[in-house]
């Protein structure tokens, strides 16, 4: 199993890069860089490409709405070039709060847009002449090709790889099915190994049935809060505010994909209570109302032997990369966490 870590997006690039270099030496496989309403992820990914040697670099995630498909392809090809073929293009629909509230764009047709963005990216990387004939990205060619308007173009540069690996972040049944059909990697959220088949299995099977064998086996990237030790059980309480934010406050009532996921996991009553409390401004009460089973099952918090058992459970459920979210806030603690997880993951 591969070990990744979420690079900090709240501090300076230099400090983050130094830590990623240290973690790379300790066996880190992947550094993931987020893009929400922060500094753009491309700047940090490019910076990391210049100062690392082996670790893969992943956008986690680029929203599909905030760049044109061609620019997304150009950016991915450029990052793959400066990293000597170490880039993974993580894409996702994000949500209305970020896309409409931050980018000022309509949040529409996420499934169709995702499919077309991936198709266009792969055309660009193969250096095919690009024409836009999709349902969402369509520009009819003019009758008079002599004007040069709308004339198909191809990427000037030759990419390092003609297929940069694509990871799709997906939650809903149709989105997960699409990821299993067209992406090299899939990133869910709050992955419960024991319930993964019940929640995700049907969608994954449907997508895999249409999957091009050339894509290889679907890789699964899962983010997990981590704390290893004999006296860390209380750190589960540090996981609760983040879960409560998403279950209760990310989006509006009736339009919260994360709340929907909690319901699909079997926590319908609890999900409603958490959302009611959170939207009423009672954030601490919302965090306390989260099911204990959910908090514990999506985390790796406990003695080393227990964590080893949970790592095995994630692997048995098909997870191929654990993207660590260490609860020890110090660089030394995060380094110890990566070293221990590298040993436990094999």
Query: Residue 137: its pLDDT value, please?
Result: 85
CB atoms within 10 A of CB 100: 15
Query: Residue 67: its pLDDT value, please?
Result: 96
State the Cα–Cα distance between residues 79 and 102, nearest whole angstrom.
25
303: its two tokens: 């003695």
3-state helix, strand, coil in the chain (%, to 5): 50, 15, 35
State the Cα–Cα distance between residues 25 and 7, nearest whole angstrom.
16
Stated as kind and residue range, the H or E segment containing 99 is helix 96-99
List per-residue pLDDT tens for the chain, 346 residues long: 999 999 877 667 888 899 999 999 999 999 999 998 889 999 999 999 999 999 999 999 999 999 999 999 999 999 999 999 999 999 999 888 789 989 999 999 999 999 999 999 999 999 999 988 888 888 765 555 555 556 789 999 999 999 999 999 999 999 999 999 999 999 999 999 999 999 999 999 999 999 999 999 999 999 999 999 999 999 999 999 999 999 999 877 888 889 999 999 999 999 999 999 999 999 999 999 999 999 999 999 999 999 999 999 999 999 999 999 999 988 899 999 999 999 999 8
Distances in Å between the Cα of 215 and the Cα atoms of 54, 75, 121 are: 23, 21, 15
Domain ranges of the chain: 2-223+303-308+317-345, 231-302
SS3 169: strand
Query: Residue 57: its pLDDT value, please?
Result: 98
232: its two tokens: 């860390």
Query: Residue 140: its pLDDT value, please?
Result: 65
State the Cα–Cα distance between residues 54 and 3, nearest whole angstrom.
13
State the Cα–Cα distance between residues 41 and 74, nearest whole angstrom.
15
Q: String of b and e for 109-140 (b: at least 16 CB within 10 Å)?
A: ebeebbbbbbebbbbbbeeeeebbebebbeee
CATH superfamily, with its number, for domain 2-223+303-308+317-345: Luciferase-like domain (3.20.20.30)
């Amino acid at each position: 199993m591969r070990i990744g870590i979420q690079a900090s997006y709240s501090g300076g690039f230099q400090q983050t890069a130094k830590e990623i270099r240290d973690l790379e030496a300790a066996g880190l496989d992947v550094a993931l860089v987020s893009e929400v309403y922060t500094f753009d992820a491309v700047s940090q990914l490019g910076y990391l490409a210049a100062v690392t040697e082996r670790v893969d670099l992943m956008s986690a995630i680029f929203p599909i709405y905030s760049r044109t498909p061609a620019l997304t392809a150009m950016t991915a090809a450029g990052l793959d070039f400066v990293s000597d073929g170490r880039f993974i293009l993580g894409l996702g629909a994000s949500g209305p709060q970020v896309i409409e509230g931050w980018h000022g764009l309509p949040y529409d047709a996420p499934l169709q847009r995702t499919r077309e963005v991936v198709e266009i990216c792969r055309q660009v990387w193969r250096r095919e002449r690009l024409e836009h004939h999709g349902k969402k990205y369509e520009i009819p060619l003019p009758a008079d090709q002599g004007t040069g308007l709308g004339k198909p173009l191809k990427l000037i540069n030759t990419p390092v790889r003609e297929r940069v690996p694509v990871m799709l972040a997906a939650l809903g049944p149709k989105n997960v099915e699409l990821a299993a059909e067209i992406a090299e990697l899939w990133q869910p959220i709050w992955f419960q190994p024991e319930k993964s088949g019940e929640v995700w299995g049907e969608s994954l099977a449907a997508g895999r049935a249409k999957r091009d064998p050339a894509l290889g086996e679907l890789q699964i990237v899962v983010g997990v809060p981590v704390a290893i030790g004999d006296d860390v059980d209380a750190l589960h309480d540090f996981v609760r505010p983040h879960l409560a934010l998403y279950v209760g406050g990310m989006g509006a009532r009736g339009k919260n994909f994360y709340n929907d996921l909690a319901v699909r996991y079997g926590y319908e009553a609890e999900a409603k209570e958490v959302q009611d409390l959170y939207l009423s401004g009672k954030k601490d009460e919302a965090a306390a109302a989260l099911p204990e089973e959910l908090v514990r099952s999506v985390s790796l918090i406990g003695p080393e032997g227990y964590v080893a058992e949970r790592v095995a459970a994630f692997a048995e459920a098909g997870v191929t990369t654990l993207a660590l979210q260490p609860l020890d806030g110090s660089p030394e603690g995060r380094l110890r966490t990566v070293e221990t997880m590298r040993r436990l993951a094999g």
